[in-house]
Amino acid sequence: MKRTGFLTLILSFVLLNLNASNPDSTALNLNTAKKPAGPKGWEFVGNFGAYWGNKYQASFYNGSKENENNINYVLSNTYWNDEIKNLLMTSVNRDSFALSELPTNMKYSTTMHVGFGVRYNFNPEWAFNLEFNFAKLTAKDFFTLEVFPAKDNESHSYVQYPIWGKETRTNIQAGVVRTLNTDQKFRPFFELGAVVTNTLVKESQISIEDQPYNLVNIYSGNYVPNSNVQEYEIRQGGIGFGGYVDGGLKIMFNDFVSMELYASLYYQQINLKGYNAFNLQESAMFRLVLSPAFFMPKTE
């Protein structure tokens, strides 16, 4: 996949930089004996990049009868079913239908991953990192209806319509950062830590002839038009846990500002009912860093 190649490129660049900065060594020099001087204290960071959700969780939105939000909830409702027949009669001149196929390989679209955080430097090589990163994900595909009677010169006639889901994820990350070659402008670093993820479902819907239908049952009973059936605010999602590893390159512009280019691999639980097993999620990020020196008083 393209994103796997991109993440591999970042990590390869880190390793090449390690070797380039140690031309007299046949192995990676981790500088464990060298403790360069540098300020302790806090760094403030801002993150921006791309996030790729695992398609395993995207299947939460495919409308399957086993799912919490399934398409039969809409299609089997007498009033919605009659409305859909009328829409089909207007659009394809057919007044009967049956569900033919649901998506089997639903995926999330690439989305932005943004956040902020703080880092405490124990020394130039070791630090503790705390970050809050946010992503809004969309999974979309198409489902198929068979319409009756079949059109002329066709044994079966089908129409396709969109099905989609939207969610937000908030990753709270805490980890330890190890920075190498701290006397150089280009400094490889690695990070290892734990992550807590809050997932919140925003939409789970289908659309037939531009008429949207909500797959989330928000009523106290069956939907009846122009009735007093009470609507409820339904919260789907929850808290999941896991771990992550980062690898990247820190580029020092001056004593005050630096930029980090890095790739992240998460192994975590995304708390969606029926799809909460641990899986891999990926991101690639830029991080703007204000170093402790930025906040220190100038000396004459």
pLDDT at 26: 37
pLDDT at 297: 64
Residue 30 lies in a domain: no
192-225 pLDDT per residue, tens: 999 999 999 999 999 999 999 999 999 977 888 8
Residue 187 lies in a domain: yes
Q: What is the CATH number of the domain that holds 105?
A: 2.40.160.20
Buried b / exposed e over 220-259, threshold 16 CB at 10 Å, is: eeebeeeeeeeeeeeebbbebebebebbbbbebeeeeebe
Q: Which domain holds residue 249?
A: 2-21+37-295
pTM of the model: 0.85
pLDDT at 167: 98
Contact 52, 222 (CB under 8 A): no
Residue 241 lies in a domain: yes
Whether residue 149 is preceded by a cis peptide bond, meaning omega within 30 degrees of 0, is yes
pLDDT at 40: 76
pLDDT at 300: 53
| Euclidean distance between CA atoms 217 and 229, whole angstroms | 12
Residue 227 lies in a domain: yes
Residue segments in the chain with a per-residue pLDDT below the cut of 70: 1-39, 292-300
| Euclidean distance between CA atoms 127 and 38, whole angstroms | 12
Which two tokens mark 194?
């734990």
Q: 3-state secondary structure string, the chain?
A: CHHHHHHHHHHHHHHHHHHHCCCCCCCCCCCCCCCCCCCCEEEEEEEEEEEECCHHHHHHHCCCCCCCCCCHHHHCCHHHHHHHHHHHHHHHCCCEEEEEECCCCCEECCEEEEEEEEEEECCCCEEEEEEEEEEEEEEEEEEEEEEECCCCCCCCEEEEEEEEEEEEEEEEEEEEEEECCCCCCEEEEEEEEEEEEEEEEEEEEEEECCEEEECCCCECCCCCCCCCCCECCCCCEEEEEEEEEEEEEEEECCCCEEEEEEEEEEEEECCCCCCCCEEEEEEEEEEEEECHHHHCCCCC
Q: Looking up tokens 């830590």, which residue turns up?
A: 193
- CA-to-CA separations, 204 to 61, 134, 166, 231, 232, in angstroms, rounded: 6, 20, 7, 16, 15
Residue 274 lies in a domain: yes
Residue 180 lies in a domain: yes
Cα angle 247, 248, 251; round to 5 = 155
pLDDT at 51: 98
Tell me the backbone φ, ψ of residue 10, rounded to 5 degrees.
-60, -50
Counting the structural domains of the chain, the total is 1
| Euclidean distance between CA atoms 60 and 100, whole angstroms | 19
Residue 27 lies in a domain: no
Residue 32 lies in a domain: no
| Euclidean distance between CA atoms 215 and 71, whole angstroms | 6
